[in-house]
Chain A
Amino acid sequence: MYTQIAANTFEQIITIFSKPEYSNYLWLGLGTTLYISVCAALLGILLGTLVAMIKIQPDSKVWVAPKFICGIYTTVIRGTPMALQLFIMAFVIFAIRGFPLEITAILAFGINSGAYVSENIRAGILSIDKGQTEAGRALGLSSGYTLFRIIIPQGMKNVIPAIGNELIALIKETSIVSMAGTVFDLTYVAKVMGAPNELATYLAPMLVVAVFYLIIVYALTLVIKLIERRLRKSEKK
């Protein structure tokens, strides 16, 4: 019986790739997932860097309000479920007829990952010995120049693995986007392909899509490893 199921599934997988009515779905799903993930990741990193920069400023009058706002941002975003944030974005903030759900999703995921990325970056900057800043300042370099030329390049090395982790989580988290409406991302197209009047089985499309996710994440880990190795150059030489 199991050999029968395996044979059928194999046949269906071949059908998915060979018949354009299915394969088109698949490529559409891949494209949507990549589009949402990449844009959200960029937004998240940008937002995270900005928030981290504000958070490491000294406790002075100028920075009290921005630091307070950033504190609330990370607390609220990290303290509430991702799906709920997506729903609030889709059904409350951007509840406009015809507003593309992809954009809503990008904003929701980007803002969410920004909170995590900001803490990662902040930790990376704090991990650098205070003496490095002091040496820079004692040479008469400004605090900004010291931060960008000395502290951040060193902190990045410690941050990359954590950010990689966050990006991997982000890619997989995009699978909940279809909970908020019709977006043809990888997870949703698998569901559509497996529907009773299509393939009438979920096993094959789900397997295919799982492999797709796996490949995306694995490719990302390779890229992160490469970046990390390049940044660690100064420790080996």
Chain B
Amino acid sequence: MKRNKDEKFLKTEKTPVEPFDPSALIEVQHLTKSFGELKVLDDISEKIFHGEKIAVIGPSGSGKSTFLRCLNVLEDPTDGHVFFEGNNLCNLKVDINVQRRRMGMVFQQFNLFNNMTVLKNITLAPIHVGLLELKKSKRKIFALKLKNLFKSKANKLPVPTLQTSAKKIKQDAEANAMRLLNRIGLADKANVYPSTLSGGQKQRIAIVRALAMNPKVMLFDEPTSALDPEMVGEVLSLIKELADEGMTMVIVTHEMAFAREVATRVLFMDGGKIQEQGTPEQIFGSPTNARLKEFLSKVL
């Protein structure tokens, strides 16, 4: 996950890149991930299109979570490429931070920032990114003005005026965060610290935190596995709401009923490979893969 130029990562760059399919939102080419001798992902190629809701199921240790974490390169692939909107995330020249801002991620353990209030948790990234962009445009305007000094009056370059200010960015982010908190009914928790919240509340806030960046795709890494049974419902219903709004999402889950209800496509993974995929009806109704049949007979 640390993007440093160590050899392991550069190996990935050397593998040949196949042409990218422009209709896909995320395209994975020959993705392989090994932890030492253990091959967790074995040559996976897959495309994820706009508006798809993909559920990834499989026994534990099958590489589901690693697959999801490779999608936003939180885990460095050992081999292969991951494309997001045409950008190769495995290329060191691509600014991974900019790309990740368009990919929301929700973790099993919520991972809310414990040292910040709920509101600050949600606004931290939007404000930071907004201020970065403000700085950039300020620099651009300054450069233009500098250039204009050396030009005659007739052919001076037009200098754009700043549309936003640091204060406005902050207010907008906070208003947006409050709107999102209102939506999940937790507006009264805006100024408390995460340690006082229940698991279900934490996870819903973690989802909202990812949403505040207006992501193109949401990645859910077993979002309900660390929750008390009675809190699973509130989180799943929020995810379902998002799905109904047309958000593209990839969900690693053990909730088969939920996968059946929400997913447009189900991937069954085992042994680092996608063993079978199809619509929920196909996967749960008429599975063909022997391993999938065995898995379903145990969990259903």
Residues of A within 8 A of B (CB): 58-63, 129, 131-143, 145, 149-150, 153-154, 234-235, 237
Contact = CB atoms under 8 A, between A and B. Distances in A.
B67 to A, nearest CB: 15
Contacts, number: 89
Given A153-B115, A235-B193, A237-B196, A131 B100 contact: no
B34 interface: no
B213 A139 contact: yes
B193 A234 contact: yes
Given A139-B105, A139-B124, A140-B99, 10 more contacts: A60-B6, A61-B6, A134-B74, A135-B112, A137-B1, A139-B209, A140-B125, A141-B97, A150-B116, A235-B193
Contacts of A63: 4
B77 to A, nearest CB: 16
Contacts of B1: 133-134, 137
B107 A137 contact: no
B255 to A, nearest CB: 21
B101 A131 contact: no
Most-contacted residue by chain B among A59, A129, A139, A153 (CB, 10 A): A139
A142 B210 CA distance: 16
A59 to B, nearest CB: 7
Contacts of B113: 132, 135-136, 150
A140 B109 CA distance: 19
A141 B113 CA distance: 13
B5 interface: yes
A198 to B, nearest CB: 55
Interface string B129-140: 100000000000
Given A58-B6, A131-B109, A135-B107, A140 B97 contact: yes
Interface string B187-219: 000001101100000000010011001000000
B258 to A, nearest CB: 22
Contact of B4 (A58, A134, A153): A58
B107 A131 contact: yes
